[in-house]
Amino acid sequence: MNKVVISVLGQDKPGIIAAVTAILFKLDCNIENINQTILQSEFSGIFIALTPSDISNSELCAQLAKGLSHMNLHVHVKPLEHKEKGFSGDSCEPFVITTIGPDRKGLVAGITAVIAKYGVNVTNLKAVFKGGDNPSDNIMIYEVDIPYDTDQNALRSELRKKASELGLDISIQHRNIFMSINRI
């Protein structure tokens, strides 16, 4: 079995996930992970799947493209690369960074530059910009893994400074606290 990453992009409509997963099932693939979202009117889905050894990535992509052609979707398949060295969340703590403020260019770039400088990994990002100056209309939520050996005081200080420069209110909370406070 080979492990692959499949990305599917296109205009959102009902039945995309059903169509993709039906094709993968028919090809004897085992889905391990799915992450899907809709941004404005665009569908974006990423699937991690185990594929039978007798089907190449190009054949899998061709079968998916053919089966999804009636939905006008774009498909990309690539091998899942496991590197010996790389970022590992095992030696990290999960945090949530939330920013709220007026929309303008460079908000995500400014905050993520600070995050990257400290070796923090963004595991999930949700940014909703409705434009205008109403701060409550523009929010970014970063789920991050902060390595245990990170100077959290320095990170927090630099994030607050950058947020102030960008006109943003910022909150940095351990994920467990964030989840407890925001439980519905």
Which domains can be identified in the chain, with CATH numbers?
2-79 (3.30.70.260), 89-181 (3.30.70.260)
Question: Given strand 138-147, what is the order of strands in its sheet?
Answer: 121-129, 138-147, 92-100, 169-174
What integer pLDDT is reported at residue 184 of this predicted model?
Answer: 56
Read off the tokens for 141.
């939520």
In this predicted structure, what is the pLDDT of residue 178?
A: 66
Q: Which pLDDT does position 131 carry in this prediction?
A: 64
Q: Which residues of the chain have pLDDT under 70?
A: 83-90, 131-137, 177-180, 182-184
β-strand pairing of 74-79 with 2-11: antiparallel
Distances (CA, A) of 125 to 98, 99, 100, 112, 141: 10, 11, 14, 10, 6
pLDDT value, residue 1: 81
pLDDT at 84: 55
Residue 27's pLDDT is 96
Alpha-carbon dihedral sign for residues 114, 119, 120, 125: positive
What pLDDT was estimated at residue 82? 73
CA–CA distance, 67 with 89 (Å, rounded to integer): 36
3-state secondary structure of 29: coil
For the record, the structure tokens of 148 come out as 């245990």
User: Can you give the pLDDT at residue 132?
Assistant: 61
Digit-coded pLDDT (tens) for 144-166: 999 999 999 999 999 999 999 99
